[in-house]
Chain A
Amino acid sequence: MPVQWVLLLSAFLFSVGIYGVLARRNAVIVLMSIEVMLNAVNINLVAFNALLQETHLMGQIFALFVITIAAAELGVGLAIVILIYRNRTTVSIDEVSLMKW
């Protein structure tokens, strides 16, 4: 299996994630888009590990860390979103711009 394909897939997922982050108003969907980006990273890591036949398995371990931390981040992120929702009854990101300039 050519590694190019895998890499292309990950680049694609990564870009789609970026689009989601930039275009979606709902904070939760933005979080989901970021998860997609992180998964793109994981695909890379694991694929490279397989490609290089690397014995220390750093790629896979790295991926494990990413998954774990992504989950933790998501927890905090959702807490923040809920906090905002509680105060303003909206989770639209572009309405959150009290502070500027």
Chain B
Amino acid sequence: MVSTVKETAEALPGVIEIAWLIPVIPTVCFFLIVFFGKKLKGKGAEIGIAGIVAALALSIPVFFKTIGQLGHKDFHGYSKSVTWMEFGDKEVLELGYRIDGLTVVMLLVVCFVALMVHIYSTAYMKGEVRYTFYYAALSLFTGSMLNLVLANNLLQLLVGWEGVGVCSYLLIGHYWEEKENSNAAIKAFLTTRIGDVGFMFGIFVLFFAAKTFNIQAITEIVEEGHISNTVLTTAALLLFAGAIGKSAQFPLHVWLPDAMAGPTPVSALIHAATMVVAGVYLVARMYTVFHASPDALQVVAIIGAITMLMAALLALIQNDIKRVLAYSTISQLAYMVAALGVGAYTAGVFHIWTHAWFKALLFLGAGSVIHAVHSNNMSDMGGLKDQLPITHKTYLIGCLALAGMPGLAGFWSKDEILTGAFDSATHGSTVGWVVFISASLTAFLTACYSARMYFLTFRGNPKYDTSHVHPHESPAAMTTPLILLAVLAVAGGWIGLPGSWNQFAKWVHFGEEHAVFSFPVAAFGTLLFVGGFALGWAMFHKGKFRFDIKKSPLAWSYKLLENKYYLDDLYMGVIVRPIRDQVSRFAYWTNQNILDAVVNAGGAAALGLGKSLYKNVDQPVIDGAVNGTARITGKIGDTLKFFQTGNVQYYAAVLFIGIGISVAGFLYFN
């Protein structure tokens, strides 16, 4: 396989040299689990966990090795590749990895969250159907995601990208006995696939502009200004289409809430912490391209601004705890997207980092709750504070981090984003204002729904059927990940403290590293948190300010939210169903009735019997046992054969007429 090895740095440090194992190990585990998992004691879980531990164990030294180098001026990351395939006389596609600050951050996030989920699932999924396959898919997912993160070229990235997509499909549809679940899985796959096509085209545009798929090479070429602005804008927008799909941004966000059909740990891993940030990661990875095209960046920012607010509003009215988290995820992803859109690169990536911890925590916590009450609905919960002490505490931390309580992880990154937007706004960017205002509102709403979620779930009176449901704390396999993640949800943000302590900005930055911190904005953000959380507490715990929205003048807005802005209906009614049912049937009808008939018509025209054409177009070809052309020719034969009357004198007459005509004709023409 290794034919040519291209070295970028001199000699790679040992651990970097084997970094390619990081994605490969989980992928291999997938096959091991598929083929041997069922026969093992742990039904394959142990292989999965071992694989992910190994990946993590490799990632950590890689992380430290890399950040150790990040200070050096000439260091652009490690990379190594082999030729994957060649086509044409110049185009080479490599298989390789590129390791820089962004990569290692993502590696840690993915590996750690994945490990948590793997461990958590041993308890959560115990006794569930297709346990082994579940682990296999998790492993494959992890492998694909790591491949996506490490890829040094766009095509390889696309491979990982689609790989996580299909794993997501498999896992969302885990309980496929119910049609809704498989519907959700298909919806997720197809919706993201639409974006993927755009992504693919973006790759093409860049490939033909830069003559390479290599990300580093593309970056350099773009920086040198060899590519025209139009091309870059096109490429950036197409790439962003991929991000929209994968990161569930408006208007392709509809799949993510439905994706909650999958097992809860899967939601934590895929639909909160890792896969959905792939879109954001892509934008960050290809940020040079975006940065070179201000128009594209504005689009990115605006999409982010729209999505965050829209999703936050939706999160406010959900009853299903997982759906609250899902919309919250969309909203938070939009935060990252908007941050990148306004140029707050480090802030955006930092939010990936912090969001991963608390959102994974929240999902796993929600899983623990669901495990306890056997329901997803918050209307079946309440007052679980005492029954589920660990879950309760960790979940509270998660909620606060999400809401942006100062000191917790979420606060720092959110603050950086607000600052970035404000910065952009004050530099005269209208879009910056839009993002800032939207982000502020969203921050407020986030605090509000976080509070709502917390209080409805853990405080107040139990709303579940106490006679049947006896909630009790989950086993250690589930609580341990919760605790670990809670720690990170608190402390995870500290590496990005403002000012000179900011380590994160050293690792991940675009252009000159600059840590922004603005005290007014921080204060404003704190205010938003307090206000939002307080409102949530007041409304949903204390019952103040309660009013029945359905009877208020705002009823229309509630209805709008309840129907998710009617986007789903729009897509289903205008695109999916017509294509699936009407258009496809029409196409098939044309196939059976028009095209076959055209063949017939060809024969008819050629043979001068236009009359039969209508009949044949009209006739349902399906029951015609003979091909249409044949039918027409056959008819001619039928007509012609009656010339064979059997009367010899008649034959002789035709003979003489033939002679007469040909001779006369000949004489005439001569």
Query: What are 28 sample pairs from A and B whose C-beta atoms fall under 8 A apart?
Result: A18-B656, A21-B649, A21-B652, A22-B649, A22-B652, A22-B656, A23-B649, A30-B649, A93-B647, A93-B648, A93-B649, A94-B647, A94-B649, A96-B648, A97-B645, A97-B646, A97-B647, A97-B648, A98-B646, A99-B646, A100-B644, A100-B645, A100-B646, A100-B647, A101-B641, A101-B642, A101-B644, A101-B646
Query: What CA separation (Å) do A98 and B646 show in the bound complex?
Result: 7
**Interface residue tally for chain A (C-beta within 8 Å):** 13
In the complex the two chains form, what is the Cα distance from A22 to B649 in whole Å? 5
**A22 B653 Cβ-Cβ under 8 A:** yes
A93 CA to B652 CA, complexed, in Å: 12
* Interface of B (DSSP majority class): helix
| Residues 617-650 of B contacting A (Cβ, < 8 Å) | 641-642, 644-649
Chain B: which residue is nearest A98 at the CB level? B646
Which chain B residues border A101 with CB–CB below 8 Å? 641-642, 644, 646
In the complex, the number of residue pairs spanning A and B with C-beta atoms less than 8 Å apart equals 29
Given contacts A97-B648, A100-B644, 12 further A-B pairs with CB under 8 A are A18-B656, A21-B652, A22-B653, A22-B656, A23-B649, A30-B649, A93-B647, A93-B649, A97-B645, A98-B646, A101-B641, A101-B644
Name the B residues within 8 Å of A18 (CB-CB): 656
- Nearest Cβ on chain B to A31's Cβ, whole angstroms: 13
Interface string of B647-665 (1 = CB under 8 A from A): 1110011001000000000
Give chain B residues whose Cβ lies under 8 Å from the Cβ of A93. Answer: 647-649
Docked pose: A93 CA to B656 CA in angstroms? 18
- Cβ-closest chain A residue relative to B638: A101
Return the chain B residue nearest A97 by Cβ: B646
* Interface size class, chain B: 10 to 19
CA distance A41 to B642 in the complex (A): 34
Interface residues of A in 84-101 (CB under 8 A from B): 93-94, 96-101
Q: Which A residues lie within 8 Å of B645 (CB)?
A: 97, 100
Which B residues are in CB contact (< 8 Å) with A22? 649, 652-653, 656
Top 8 closest A-B pairs, CB basis?
Answer: A100-B646, A97-B646, A101-B641, A97-B647, A94-B647, A101-B644, A22-B653, A100-B645
Q: Kindly state the separation between the CA atoms of A22 and B655 in the bound complex, as whole angstroms.
A: 11
Mask: chain B, 454-495; 1 = CB below 8 Å from A; 0 = not: 000000000000000000000000000000000000000000
Q: A94: which B residues are within 8 A, CB to CB?
A: 647, 649
Question: Min CB distance, A78 to chain B, in Å?
Answer: 16
A37 to B248, CA, bound (A): 97
Residues of chain B in range 245-301 having any CB-CB distance to chain A below 8 Å: none
Closest chain A residue to B648, Cβ basis:
A93
The chain B residue with its CB closest to the CB of A15 is: B656
Residues of A within 8 A of B648 (CB): 93, 96-97
Q: How many angstroms between the C-alpha atoms of A85 and B639 in the bound complex?
A: 33
Residues on A with C-beta less than 8 A from B656 are: 18, 22
Within the complex, the shortest CB–CB distance from B644 to chain A, in Å, comes to 5
A93 to B641, CA, bound (A): 20
Interface string of A59-101 (1 = CB under 8 A from B): 0000000000000000000000000000000000110111111
Interface residue ranges of A1-55 to B (CB < 8 Å): 18, 21-23, 30
Question: How far does the Cβ of A73 sit from chain B's closest Cβ, in whole Å?
Answer: 16
Distance (Å) between the CB of B518 and the closest chain A CB? 100
Chain A residue at smallest Cβ distance from B653: A22
Binary interface profile of B, 424-452, with partner A (CB < 8 Å = 1, else 0)? Answer: 00000000000000000000000000000
A24: shortest Cβ distance to chain B, in Å? Answer: 8
- Chain A nearest CB, measured from B534 CB (Å): 99
> How many Å lie between the Cα of A93 and that of B651 in the bound state?
12
| Cα separation A99 to B646 with both chains bound (whole Å) | 6
A96 and B649 CA atoms in complex are apart in Å by 10
Residues of A contacting B642 with CB < 8 Å?
101
CA separation between A21 and B648, bound complex, in Å?
10
Chain A residues with Cβ below 8 Å from B649 are 21-23, 30, 93-94
Identity of the chain B residue whose Cβ is nearest the Cβ of A19 in the assembled complex: B656
Question: What residues on B are CB-neighbors of A21 within 8 Å?
Answer: 649, 652
